[in-house]
Structure 1
């Protein structure tokens, strides 16, 4: 019987020699065909891979040097910051374009602004000329600050006298009626005459009701209407469409 050396180191039963390891199990069963031409396809595939992975060129060898690889990494990091800045600038520009093109809230029309101005002017005492007891015209805003009492159809003698007593000496009290002469119902009692109190009281007449119409006040209903007017551009500080007692307006007298 031939020894192991007769078969080139392999045992006669086809097993591996004692000094060589076995083939890996993941390779599976390896079958060697009797006709080697059956392996031509595998040979061509291996040759193709070898051609694709041929020897590196001089430039490839230069680029694979450690120093060059470090330079490439540093250059890549240095490029990230400018690219990020440029991207943010582009995003901000696009957002600005969208914001400028996006329709905003509708502007307030000029008609509404005019209406607001008209409402504001309604809080100012109109510069009207009414008639005094002697029939002469008297500017309504001649003496300010003032408490103006519209007393048509009102038995308001007590309200007038209480108002004269409550106001400061620099505040005039003006009564306005539509009658041609002052009504006795609004004449202050003798012991509270303006001269005795150092106050100014005027009685004016508005035959056409211009003041009520301008301030959009209702028709007379048996109660007085009070206007508290400051000397600051004849501003109406408070309006009482119906008032019967001085206590209603007393807290506001300090504002004029």
Structure 2
């Protein structure tokens, strides 16, 4: 058997059906130009890296939302739509969270302050002098802060029996021009009485007051909040008038 020389004796290599050499590039690639300086490929390399990162993020999002890879390119739009829907639902939930109707507890007809001593507080009268409530007792004390209560003051003064003083108290000296002459107006700039006896009242609107019925010993017998007319004062007024004096 003969030995094949390295150059095959100058003859072409035998054709055994196996392609030799480099195959042609796909025609859609166009003309390939290899630059002499590799730095000229930085722009193309950055674009390739961006596309790879975009593909990686898309894969992560598909994995998070359980969206399979879509060969038709619909995966990313589906993810975007899912995120938009979830964001909208969260926004609606947050907006409507505080829209629940508030619940209010109606004030009781009387406040449980019966039998408590009235604090020995000082007030300012129409003359600018400092006074206390003690000389006016027994008294019906109307707390009228923020109340348009001219009619209520006049009617309460007309309902009060002899010996019972009607005292009108507000943060600034209230107007009592329409009431009978023995009605007393006092200013309570610190709002001490309202803070102690009228907290939580005012649900009946701007024409409501709070009435304190104080006997001669300085004991608060009854507190009536949200008073708009003397219809709520009759029984408490009668009880105050018949209270023992010692």
- TM-score, normalising length from structure 2? 0.47
- Higher-Rg member (1/2): 1
- From the two aligned structures, give the one with the greater helix fraction: 1
